[in-house]
Structure 1
Amino acid sequence: MMSWIVSQPYFKIERELNGLEQKIVVQCRTMYLYPDKIVTRFRTFSFDEVFDISYRHIGDKEGFLYLHTNQGVYPYIIKDNPENFIHSFNVHKNKW
């Protein structure tokens, strides 16, 4: 199996209702860039499915990393700068 090139932490925020209480659960996950695909916890995108990756900064520390695919746009909440991930994707997609 190929090893990944670079990773990007992202967060999934879920609201859980328990009776009258609402609890917010934040799950830390990781997206991995391989030489021919991007893998998240529940999805795998081959390079021929991904047209572009973009980033929009919101708030003080967070932003959205968007995967533009042939199935639509997938947003991921991130806190770390994705510049290295996006650059690595562009370099490897052009080689692929």
Structure 2
Amino acid sequence: MTKETQHTILIYMEVERKIDFYYKLQKITTYHELTVTPTAVITAKAEYTLNSVLDVSYKPFSSQTGILYLHTNQGVFPFYINSSPQKFIDTFRSFKIG
């Protein structure tokens, strides 16, 4: 696979909290893809060029979940994940170095 066709996808989740008609708290979880390509990091709501992404870090929790932090020149964006992000981080760093 050439570098132009390489990409890595990581699934992240967003939890939205709403109060329903009966005043009960509803938690709605949606799953989205976080993709790193040789030119950009793409989320469900935004796309960041690789030049604007400074670093990626990960903070694991004890329950097999964790937060992947995307450090950009626009701020730090958290992504809640349920799987190991090591392949995603390695791919990102290989694109930044290469």
TM-score, reference length from structure 1: 0.92
Runs of 4+ in 1 over 3 A off after TM superposition: none
Residue number in structure 1 paired with 2:59:
56
Higher strand proportion (structure 1 or 2): 1
Count of aligned positions: 94
Q: Is the 8 A contact 1:11 1:27 kept in 2?
A: yes
Percent identical residues:
28
Task: Give the unaligned 5+ runs of structure 1.
Answer: none
CA distance, structure 2, for counterparts of residue 50 and residue 22 of structure 1: 36
Task: Give the unaligned 5+ runs of structure 2.
Answer: none
String of CA shifts for 1:22-49, please: whole Å, max 9, x gaps: 1000001111111110000011010111
Alpha-carbon RMSD across the aligned residues, in angstroms, is 1.2
Partner of residue 90 from structure 1, selected from 81, 85, 93: 93
Pairs within 5 Å for 1:59-74: 59-74=62-77
